[in-house]
Amino acid sequence: MAPVRLRHPGGVATIQIDFASATVQDLLVEVQKVTQILPSQQQFKAGYPPHALTIIPELPLDSLGLQPGEQLIVSASPGASAQPAFTPTPAPAAVAPPVAAPLQRAGAVASPSGGPDAIEVDGSYLIHRIVPDDNSCLFSSVALIFEQGISKASHVRQIVAEEIRADPITWDDAILGRPRDDYISTILKPNTWGGAIELSILAKHYCTEIASVDVETGRIDHFTPPPDRDTGNRCIVVYSGIHYDAATLAPMIDAPDDFHQTVVPVQSQSEEEDSVLGAAKKLADKLRAKRAYTNTSTFDLKCQDCGQGLKGEKEARAHASQTGHVNFGEY
């Protein structure tokens, strides 16, 4: 464990972090305990002169370039308010948990019988586009958005592999969590999960921001392309803890797939000011009320390659790194 000094709206504090094994998400949790700012609302600056840090919760802590004893400047995103450090146990599935105050231009609508969930926004509908639960869901969702069909998921994997192969400086062994050649060969397998690394690469390749909305927390993570490649557009993916789906705009709930708009202009980085982001948050609220998510820190997994039982995504990633096994199933 090593100290990290925090300068935050309430004063100055020191937290202890295991730099060898912690993720960015672990840092966010520790900061919340001290500042009572929710992880989704935390903003960080470090260095001199202070510069903003890009927060990707799934990456190792060293992706931020922090050193033990370094000072972090913590603030809340505009419009955020302090929250209790620990949230109450969610209500039973039969009772919908509280949701955010409704936006002026986005509202939940009843889904057709057996149809996908949808949120009305600016006269259109943000539709939950469900892809197969086959360990290739992230790549299928991105293929649906940018390649007009989930059949191109393997092509999306190739894009990721080629970028990692071409840029050994950005995507070194430390960031990937395993030898680069091993990571490349593994990500090309059709049963390997994708996550924050893949979304970062794909945002750059398609020159489009990928906004990932987390069903359990309502947090939106923004994976943005480099400024010189940014087209000013955005797409939406929905993350349930162990699964990714897409969300696209349609002129009516039952519009054919060809009528869906998969990429939209960025209005703002704030869900209060961007109607599509606001609709994505409300879609997450709707799915959360159905308990359509999995807590990745506590769910039980089984390695399909060797049969070992595992708890949570952290153990699964460690097991994959140690053994090369990538086939996991939820108990």
Closest CA to 184 of 204, 163, 200: 163
CATH fold group of domain 2-76: Ubiquitin-like (UB roll) (3.10.20)
The fraction of the chain above a pLDDT of 70, given in percent, is 81
CB atoms within 10 A of CB 273: 13
Matching CATH topology for 2-76 and 109-289? no
- Residue 26 annotated to the active site: no
Predicted local distance difference test score (pLDDT) of residue 69: 74
pLDDT at 189 over 70: yes
CATH fold group of domain 109-289: Cathepsin B; Chain A (3.90.70)
At 134, is the pLDDT very low, low, confident or very high (cuts 50, 70, 90)? confident
* pLDDT tens profile 69-124: 777 888 887 654 433 333 333 333 322 222 222 222 334 444 444 568 999 998 89
The answer to whether 280 touches 223, Cβ cutoff 8 Å, is no
Domain ranges of the chain: 2-76, 109-289, 300-330
> Mean pLDDT: which of 60-64, 133-137, 231-235 is highest?
231-235
* pLDDT tens profile 27-67: 988 998 888 888 878 888 887 556 778 888 878 888 888 87
Which entry of 137, 221, 235, 319 is annotated as an active-site residue? 137
Q: Which residue has the higher pLDDT, 223 or 307?
A: 223
Predicted local distance difference test score (pLDDT) of residue 298: 52
| Weakest-pLDDT range from 107-121, 133-147, 173-187, 197-211 | 107-121
Tokens representing 142 are 């991105």
Q: How far apart are CA 80 and CA 330, in angstroms?
A: 35
Tokens representing 113 are 């019988």
Q: How far apart are CA 41 and CA 82, in angstroms?
A: 9
Q: Which residue has the higher pLDDT, 83 or 261?
A: 261
Which entry of 8, 243, 260, 319 is annotated as an active-site residue? 243
Model confidence, pTM: 0.62
Which entry of 122, 134, 167, 300 is annotated as an active-site residue? 134
Predicted local distance difference test score (pLDDT) of residue 52: 79
- Residue 137 annotated to the active site: yes
Which entry of 26, 205, 207, 325 is annotated as an active-site residue? 325
At 20, is the pLDDT very low, low, confident or very high (cuts 50, 70, 90)? confident
Predicted local distance difference test score (pLDDT) of residue 6: 84
- Residue 207 annotated to the active site: no
- Residue 167 annotated to the active site: no
* pLDDT tens profile 281-314: 999 999 998 876 665 555 566 777 788 887 766 6
At 126, is the pLDDT very low, low, confident or very high (cuts 50, 70, 90)? very high
pLDDT at 220 over 80: yes
Report the chain's mean pLDDT, rounded to a whole number: 81
Strand ranges (DSSP E) for 103-232? 106-109, 118-121, 124-129, 209-214, 220-223
